[in-house]
Amino acid sequence: MSACTTPPHPVATGPGPAGCTTDALADLIGKRAKTALGSAAMQRSGAKAMRWLRPDSAMTMDYRTDRLNILLNETDMVIGFRCG
Q: Where are the domains of the chain?
A: 19-83
pLDDT at 72 over 70: yes
Angle at 18 between CA 29 and CA 24, to 5 degrees: 25
Cα 42 to Cα 47: distance, rounded to the nearest angstrom: 5
The pLDDT of residue 6? 45
Residues 8-29 as b or e (16 or more Cβ within 10 Å = b)? eeeeeeebeeebbbbeebeebe
Whole-model pTM? 0.76
- Confidence grade of residue 18 (pLDDT, cut at 50, 70, 90): low
Determine what percent of the chain is predicted with pLDDT higher than 70: 79
Considering the domain delimited by 19-83, tell me its CATH architecture.
2-Layer Sandwich (3.30)
* Ramachandran area for residue 46 (φ above 0: left; ψ -120 to 50: alpha; else beta): left
The pLDDT of residue 32? 98
Instruction: Output the CA torsion sign for 59, 18, 81, 38.
Output: negative
